[in-house]
């Protein structure tokens, strides 16, 4: 498999980042839901959020790299068999996936820094709190974070359904291209 994308296929870097982001997003969603059920005396009460925040920051950096790579190595052209409606829908869904991911990360930052403390990332570095004066910041950002995360999961399911439709009904190369074939 080639490193860069070409007109027909995704390259190793794009495929790896796609699946890394996908697995991370599912993991963060599950961790986020689970940690909201923890009680103060649970050993994971502090560890869960710290892990969630650290992975979220790393995901943010990977998403920036993914956008940069997308600019450097544009994705393959749509398949000739895709209708104009499918092309527009795919473009819209991909754009919304990126937008939702960054909005979720921004709301997560606002939750984490509402008390004025920096976000610690695995003890390696910290991201300072810059916005702390928003009324009820933690609660509002928390509600937004959850709504955006659930919306993202619904959109991911639509994305998966589209890929499966192309693979099993249309029998085209859409899914195989993102699997590295």
Pick out the chain residues at pLDDT < 70.
none
User: How many alpha carbons fall within 13 Å on the CB side of residue 34?
Assistant: 15
Closest of 32, 82, 28 to residue 59, by C-alpha: 28
Helix (H) or strand (E) holding 152: helix 137-164
- Whether residue 169 contacts residue 176, with contact meaning beta carbons closer than 8 Å, is answered with no
d(CA 80, CA 25): 31
Structure-block tokens of residue 71: 């600019």
Residue 175, CA distances (Å) to 81, 86, 107, 161, 181 in order? 14, 14, 31, 11, 9
The verdict on pTM exceeding 0.85 is yes
Confidence (pLDDT) at 181: 76
Confidence (pLDDT) at 1: 83
């Amino acid at each position: 498999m080639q490193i860069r994308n070409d007109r027909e296929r995704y390259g190793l870097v794009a495929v790896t980042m796609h699946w890394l982001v996908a697995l991370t997003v599912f993991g963060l969603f599950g961790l986020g839901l689970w940690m909201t059920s923890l009680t103060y005396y649970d050993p994971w009460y502090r560890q869960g959020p710290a892990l969630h925040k650290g992975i979220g920051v790393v995901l943010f950096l990977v998403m920036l790299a993914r956008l940069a790579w997308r600019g450097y190595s544009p994705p393959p052209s749509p398949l000739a068999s895709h209708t104009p409606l499918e092309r527009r829908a795919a473009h819209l869904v991909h754009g919304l996936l990126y937008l939702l991911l960054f909005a979720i990360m921004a709301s997560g930052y606002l939750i984490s820094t509402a008390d004025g403390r920096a976000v610690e990332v695995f003890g390696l570095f910290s991201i300072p709190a810059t916005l702390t004066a928003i009324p009820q910041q933690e609660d509002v950002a928390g509600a937004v974070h959850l709504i955006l995360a659930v919306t993202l999961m619904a959109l991911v399911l639509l994305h998966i359904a589209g890929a499966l439709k192309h693979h099993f009904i249309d029998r085209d190369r859409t899914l195989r291209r993102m699997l590295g074939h």
